[in-house]
């Protein structure tokens, strides 16, 4: 059976799957991170704002607490080999599945002198150092790496840390007021039973479609970073559980069990939202044209993989924004791609929500179409 959705319907279904429709009241930080299967977080401030857009009752202190005392959310390297926030319950099976894919030393590791035995020694040195004296800061890690012959003047240390994280050795302890530290994963998150890749692959595809459907196998491959063969195996593991959706960009799929929720979402216009940079909504699709006009894509993707914070209106990107710290008051500067009235429903509400989240009182500037 095939379900037909127009462009707005597909956008709205995706918006609701990403928790960006409705009020979002009552959601907490771990719940959001789990529902979207991780929040990209090489920029932790951007990740926090992505969470806020989905859980407007939260505050930045809630994100800090989830990463710290509660240990319910963990920062590590995972999807696409990049840094993400993950729910602690998801961490081990995700690292077990994705680690072997992204931890293998490649050309860059050879250039940095951390491939082969040299890389093995470097990872072992990090593990031993954390076992005897962790948590450790980046400078302290560099000292240990230098002692085993690693050139610490460039990017080698972060590549070693990334590999160690993907091998399940460590995770990151961010500090909003200082320098991040690294700790043994087993000391921070209790061990759990491993999940075989054959079982984990379809689970990952299922979780992806729950958070991004309607979507395609190409979308799943782009989002996960998995090689084509593994991505295909994961998708095939959902046989009998998928419903085809015929949309303006061609066929896509949702989980059959979510059919009624998808159809209801497709009829429910989404609110205006200000999301953080590298938002999960945009990172979930190989083809973003239904969400972001190709003519405006260069204004969101500034190069080097950077995705700016965006303004969403009914699931479509209509502008970008930035938070500027100034005296006497901080500012939220919105740059629209077309006519966007200052009194547009939700614009002031979102600016006020960001202020509550950060504990500030920013002024909203609408810079207008350009």
The pTM of the full predicted model, rounded to 2 decimals, is: 0.95
Q: State the pLDDT confidence band at 341, using cuts at 50, 70 and 90.
A: low
Q: State the pLDDT confidence band at 357, using cuts at 50, 70 and 90.
A: very high
Beta-strand (E) ranges in 15-169?
Answer: 39-40, 73-77, 83-87, 136-137
Return the C-alpha torsion angle 221, 225, 227, 229, nearest 10: -30
CA distances from 242 to 5, 64, 245, 338 (A): 16, 37, 10, 37
Q: State the pLDDT confidence band at 344, using cuts at 50, 70 and 90.
A: low
pLDDT in tens, 203-238: 999 999 999 999 999 999 999 999 999 999 999 999
Phi, psi of 227 (to 5 degrees): -60, 155
- Percent of the chain predicted with pLDDT > 70: 98
Mode of pairing for the β-strands spanning 273-274 and 310-313 = antiparallel
What mean pLDDT, rounded, does the chain reach? 94
DSSP state of 317: E
With a cut of 90, say whether residue 128 has pLDDT above it. yes
Residue with tokens 């593994």, as numbered in its chain: 230
> How many CB atoms neighbour CB 46 within 10 A?
20
> Distance between CA 59 and CA 64 in Å, rounded?
9
Helix (H) or strand (E) holding 230: helix 228-236
Q: What tokens were used for 192?
A: 């759990």
For the chain, the domains span: 48-188, 273-366
Domain 48-188 in CATH 3.40.50.300? The answer is no
Span 310-315, mean pLDDT? 94
Span 263-276, mean pLDDT? 94
User: DSSP 3-state assignment of 250?
Assistant: strand
The two most distant CA atoms of the chain are separated, in Å, by: 62
pLDDT in tens, 40-95: 999 999 999 999 999 999 999 999 999 999 999 999 999 999 999 999 999 999 99
With a cut of 90, say whether residue 1 has pLDDT above it. no
> Distance between CA 354 and CA 274 in Å, rounded?
9
Span 268-283, mean pLDDT? 95
Helix (H) or strand (E) holding 170: strand 170-173
Q: Which residues contact 97 (CB under 8 A, 6 or more apart)?
A: 195, 197, 200, 201, 204
DSSP state of 296: G
> Which residues, listed in sequence order, are joined to residue 87 by a DSSP beta bridge?
73
* Residues 332/321, Cβ–Cβ less than 8 Å: yes
Mode of pairing for the β-strands spanning 331-336 and 363-366 = parallel
Phi, psi of 285 (to 5 degrees): -140, 135
Of the listed ranges 10-19, 146-155, 184-193, 347-356, the one predicted with least confidence: 184-193
Cis ω before 328 (30° cut-off from 0)? yes
Higher pLDDT, 176 or 251: 251
Best CA proximity match to 367, nearest among 325, 327, 323, 321: 321
Phi, psi of 337 (to 5 degrees): -90, -5
């Amino acid at each position: 059976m095939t379900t037909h959705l127009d462009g707005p319907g597909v956008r709205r279904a995706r918006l609701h799957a990403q928790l960006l429709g409705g009020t979002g009241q009552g959601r907490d930080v771990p719940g959001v991170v789990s529902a979207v299967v991780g929040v990209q977080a090489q920029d932790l401030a951007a990740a926090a704002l992505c969470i806020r857009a989905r859980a407007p009752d939260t505050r930045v202190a809630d994100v800090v607490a989830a990463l710290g005392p509660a240990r319910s959310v963990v920062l590590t390297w995972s999807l696409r080999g990049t840094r993400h926030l993950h729910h602690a319950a998801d961490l081990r099976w995700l690292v077990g599945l994705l680690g072997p894919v992204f931890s293998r030393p490649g050309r860059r590791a050879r250039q940095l002198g951390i491939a082969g035995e040299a890389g093995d020694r470097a990872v072992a040195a990090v593990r031993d150092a954390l076992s005897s004296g962790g948590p450790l800061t980046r400078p302290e890690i560099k000292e240990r790496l230098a002692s085993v012959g690693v050139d610490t003047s460039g990017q080698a240390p972060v590549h070693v840390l990334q590999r160690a994280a993907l091998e399940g050795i460590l995770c990151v302890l961010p500090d909003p007021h200082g320098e991040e530290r690294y700790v043994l994963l087993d000391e921070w998150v209790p061990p759990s039973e491993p999940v075989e890749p054959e079982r984990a692959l379809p689970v990952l595809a299922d979780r992806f479609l729950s958070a991004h459907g309607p979507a395609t196998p190409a979308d799943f491959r782009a989002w996960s970073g998995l090689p084509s063969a593994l991505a295909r195996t994961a998708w095939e593991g959902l046989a009998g559980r998928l419903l085809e959706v015929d949309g303006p960009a061609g066929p896509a799929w949702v989980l059959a069990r979510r059919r009624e929720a998808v159809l209801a979402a497709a009829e429910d216009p989404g609110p205006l939202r200000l999301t953080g940079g590298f938002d999960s909504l945009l990172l979930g699709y190989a083809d973003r044209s239904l969400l972001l006009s190709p003519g405006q894509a260069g204004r969101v993707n500034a190069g080097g993989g950077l995705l700016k914070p965006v303004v969403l209106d009914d699931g479509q990107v209509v502008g970008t924004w930035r938070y500027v710290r100034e005296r006497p008051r901080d500012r939220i500067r919105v740059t629209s791609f077309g006519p966007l009235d200052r009194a547009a429903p939700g614009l002031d509400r979102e600016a006020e929500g960001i202020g509550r989240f950060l504990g500030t009182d920013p002024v909203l500037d609408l810079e207008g179409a350009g």
